[in-house]
């Protein structure tokens, strides 16, 4: 329902942007190199988990068993576990970076986690939610940041859900290794939880995240900001006016300026991104086919 309400206004906003003045070459830095590399680790590990996990989950489907190698499922299991280790790795790196950011901010953990810019729900979110609904029904202007933050919060929570899912998988492995001490049904329960939670995570990322980040009209065909590390100043000022105003008032905007990325680099990141998107969309199609016509 939210997407259905969003789309008409998003198309109108895209037309407004295209009819506006051309954007200059000045960019605002949005991510550090660490964030870009971390996201590449997330993308590669998640695609590996999704591909191998769905092959194992739907092993009876024709598309999953098309490989003639007799050890295909054993190999898929090994790759799956390796990608799970990568998941724990990027989660640990992210947690370590948050600790460093908190120390640099001089804030307490409570202020850092539950502040105005937190991923946790707060009063301002209610205000911006009301603004979003007004914008959907042409009763008010486009809200400052609510729509973009909604997609980012969904993605962040989805990543946390995947890490939680890795713990479910670890519990299945531990239960299998300690089968003499753990009832057999516990292994089946852990496996079922892990499998179905993984299906939910894959569907969420390949549908909700793809739309929020790349397929919504004002960003289509792809938003490369996580790879290029920055976005045009005019786009930043237009899409995130509150954050822009805060940076101007604090005098920090000048420190965040960066040169525009080289066209060759943009083409490279677009091709890489389209490859990941294509894999995800194809996998979603195969999952839907298996759920409708081959599910056991």
Tell me, letter by letter, the H, E, C secondary structure of 6-73. Answer: HHHHHHHHHHHHHCCCCCCCEEEECCCHHHHHHHHHHHHHHHHHHHHHHHHHCCCCCCCCCCCCCCHH
Q: Which of 107-111, 207-211, 247-251, 252-256 has the lowest mean pLDDT?
A: 207-211
Q: What is the CATH number of the domain that holds 148?
A: 1.20.950.20
**Is a pLDDT exceeding 50 seen at residue 178?**
no
Whole-model pTM: value is 0.79
Mean pLDDT over 39-46 rounds to 92
Residue 142: Cβ within 10 Å count: 19
Q: Which of 9-18, 138-147, 268-277 has the highest mean pLDDT?
A: 268-277
Q: Is residue 17 part of a domain?
A: no
Closest C-alpha to 275, from 212, 197, 214: 214
Residue ranges making up the domain that contains 162: 2-9+27-293
What pLDDT is recorded for position 11?
85
Q: How far is CA 52 from CA 73, 90, 130, 280, in A?
A: 8, 19, 42, 13
Q: In the chain, pLDDT over 70 holds for what percent of residues? A: 82
Q: How far is CA 36 from CA 31, 228, 263, 279, in A?
A: 7, 8, 18, 20
The more confidently predicted of residues 190 and 253 is 253
Q: In the chain, pLDDT over 90 holds for what percent of residues? A: 20
**Is a pLDDT exceeding 90 seen at residue 199?**
no
Q: Is residue 169 part of a domain?
A: yes
Q: Is residue 14 part of a domain?
A: no
* Average pLDDT of the residues of the chain: 80
Q: How far is CA 13 from CA 60, 135, 141, 205, 243, in A?
A: 45, 11, 11, 24, 20
- Tally of domains within the chain: 1
Q: Is residue 264 part of a domain?
A: yes
Q: Is residue 248 part of a domain?
A: yes
Query: 263-293 and 33-57 helices cross at what angle (nearest 10)?
Result: 20
Mean pLDDT over 139-167 rounds to 58
DSSP state of 143: P
Distance CA 283, CA 124 (A): 37
| pLDDT tens track for 47-91 | 999 989 888 888 888 777 765 555 677 888 899 999 999 999 998
pLDDT category of residue 159 using cuts at 50, 70 and 90: low
Beta bridge partners of 259: 26
Mean pLDDT over 103-118 rounds to 83
Q: Is residue 138 part of a domain?
A: yes
pLDDT category of residue 182 using cuts at 50, 70 and 90: low
Q: Is residue 239 part of a domain?
A: yes
Q: Is residue 22 part of a domain?
A: no
């Amino acid at each position: 329902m939210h997407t259905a309400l969003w789309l008409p206004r998003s198309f109108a906003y895209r037309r407004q942007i295209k009819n506006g003045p051309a954007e200059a070459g000045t960019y605002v830095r949005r991510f550090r190199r660490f964030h870009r590399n971390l996201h590449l680790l997330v993308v590669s590990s998640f695609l590996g988990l999704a591909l191998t996990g769905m092959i194992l989950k739907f092993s009876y489907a024709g598309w999953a068993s098309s490989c003639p190698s007799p050890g295909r499922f054993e190999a898929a299991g090994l790759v799956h576990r390796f990608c799970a280790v990568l998941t724990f790795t990027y989660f640990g790196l992210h947690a370590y970076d948050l600790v460093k950011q908190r120390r640099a901010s001089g804030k307490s953990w409570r202020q850092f986690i539950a502040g105005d810019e937190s991923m946790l729900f707060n009063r301002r979110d209610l205000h911006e939610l009301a603004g979003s609904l007004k914008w959907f029904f042409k009763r008010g202007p486009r809200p400052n940041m609510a729509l973009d933050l909604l997609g980012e919060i969904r993605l962040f929570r989805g990543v946390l859900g995947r890490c939680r899912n890795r713990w479910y998988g670890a519990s299945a492995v531990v239960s299998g290794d300690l089968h003499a001490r753990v009832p057999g049904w516990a292994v089946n329960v852990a496996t079922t939880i892990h499998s179905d939670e993984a299906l939910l995570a894959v569907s969420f990322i390949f549908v909700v995240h793809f739309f929020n980040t790349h397929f919504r009209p004002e960003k289509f065909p792809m938003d490369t900001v996580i790879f290029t590390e920055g976005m045009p100043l005019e786009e930043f000022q237009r899409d995130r006016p509150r954050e822009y105003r805060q940076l101007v008032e604090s005098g920090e905007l000048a420190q965040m300026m960066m040169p525009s990325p080289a066209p060759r680099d943009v083409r490279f990141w677009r091709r890489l991104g389209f490859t990941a998107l294509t894999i995800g969309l194809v996998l979603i199609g195969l999952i839907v086919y298996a759920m409708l016509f081959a599910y056991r």
